[in-house]
Amino acid sequence: MMGTADDRFAIIDLAALYMRGLDRLDGDLLLAQFWPGARCEYGVFSGPAEDFAAFCMKMLKEHQRNHHMLGQHLIDFTGPNEAYGEVYYQAYHRVFDNSGDARDLFIAGRYVDRYERRDGVWKFAYRSELVDWVRDDPATDGMVAVAPFIMGQRKPDDPLYNRQAMRHP
């Protein structure tokens, strides 16, 4: 069964909003992508989505920054209100080791999902994260400290949340 283009885009946006919730440390946004009663299986976490969102916010708060990138989405519609998906990802985390030195942690893999549509809205009913590779290196972004970059922030400080600044006078 094929879903409509609108169905596919809604599921792709769902995954992007999930990542925004993680990267901007916005637990409400993250949780809003799941149906009540949804389950998450991540190896380091197994349980209800509500607990997962709280787990993520606590864990990611310790990171200096996070950046998730999505790859291809494969979506299999099994009915008008159910679909299964596989989404490739790469995740970057600025973390600190036990001596306080900055580390660049990269994790790549796939999400394997089950989506449900209720009252015309698609959300996660089940999400699992599969890890294909991990890389942990000393931080090497000295240029960030000296270049005049606008750095991504967490909610509400990220420029994403200041739409007025994006308007031209």
| Per-residue pLDDT tens over the stretch 52-85 | 999 999 999 999 999 999 999 999 999 999 999 9
Residue 29 contacts residue 20 (beta carbons within 8 Å): yes
Q: Give buried/exposed letters for 37-73 (b at 16+ CB in 10 A, else e).
A: ebbbebeeeeeebeebbebbbeebeeeebbebeeeeb
Of 1-5, 18-22, 99-103, 121-125, least confident by mean pLDDT is 1-5
| Domain parsing of the chain, residue ranges | 5-159
Average pLDDT over the chain reads 92
Which one has a higher pLDDT value, 33 or 139? Answer: 33
The fold of the 5-159 domain, in CATH, is: Nuclear Transport Factor 2; Chain: A, (3.10.450)
